[in-house]
Structure 1
């Protein structure tokens, strides 16, 4: 069914609730992650020591990481450059191009890569469209741009539909 394309493989409260060892055991080598409301609050240039440690842990475990964001170059680069995390900006998620480009830059395959994000209509749908393992996190903040607010309106309806059918098991 069409709405199944919106169903994440995993739904967790935050990036810190993802079992990285389980991903490693499953053969995952690369992580494509959203930025705003996934790693930090929307439009926050600040990263926390906890986030830096999480990113360091990923690197120590051998994961390759790339930020794929629909935001502009200034926003993404100001966050990613100090952390030396590669990125794609103005990704136009859920279109497939940025995901394919990220796979190419990471030197990874669909079966070795996960997508982590806070939106069904961009991160999850985009990842699912090319067969990536998708992880949905609860948005860090309610602060969002107009486009995201519109997406959230539709997202709430899709989440309700999935929860009624047992595809989502907890309230956010």
Structure 2
């Protein structure tokens, strides 16, 4: 079960600051795309994530995208966010996490994996020896396999003493994508 336990559980990437990273000895981050940085399936601008990426990078933190999104979708967002990285990464395969950490030029213990899914982002990051940061998903997408995964995630996290329910998607302080 420890492979399914994130090192940190936070509301969103906005809580990750240079101070947060320094306290954990992290100098680089691998970033999931869908429901972590950008709402699932959206191509609309998402100003808070775009600003956050710029601010974190300007603090000297190395960033790369590590997404299971299609190559086309990942490339489109890679360009807009000015990130290195790959789509169709094959998460939770730890080899893709290790390659991405190496591309940052950092040892695994100095790299965090930030994502919204326990069975891909956290599991793969833990298997690769990264610091794992689980964020609440930006939206509740209705794909059947995602709904099942979210149900299982809530049960696993509850065993670790974390509440993780669908109410997080109804939080009023979430920004909406620009139209």
Tell me the distance in 2 between the aligned counterparts of 1:61 and 1:133. Answer: 19
Tell me the distance in 1 between the aligned counterparts of 2:142 and 2:75. Answer: 19
Contact residue 5 and residue 128 of structure 1 kept, 8 A: yes
TM-score (norm 2): 0.85
Residue of 130, 133, 137 corresponding to 2:131: 133
State the SS of the aligned residue for 1:5.
helix
Tell me the distance in 2 between the aligned counterparts of 1:20 and 1:5. Answer: 26
State the SS of the aligned residue for 1:70.
coil
RMSD: 1.7
Deviation (angstroms), 1:56: 0.9
Q: Counterpart in 1 of 2:103?
A: 105
Q: Counterpart in 1 of 2:113?
A: 115
TM-score (norm 1): 0.88
Q: Counterpart in 2 of 1:81?
A: 79
Tell me the distance in 2 between the aligned counterparts of 1:98 and 1:144. Answer: 27
Gaps of 5+ in 1: none
Range 147-156 or range 123-132, more displaced: 147-156
Deviation (angstroms), 1:91: 1.1
Deviation (angstroms), 1:144: 4.8
Q: Counterpart in 2 of 1:18?
A: 16
Structure 1 pair 74–146 and aligned structure 2 pair: CA distance change class (3 A): farther
Q: Counterpart in 1 of 2:61?
A: 63
Structure 1 pair 83–128 and aligned structure 2 pair: CA distance change class (3 A): same
Q: How many residues align?
A: 166
- For 1:29-68, list aligned pairs within 5 A: 29-68=27-66
The runs of 4+ residues in structure 1 deviating greater than 4 Å are 169-172
Gaps of 5+ in 2: 169-179
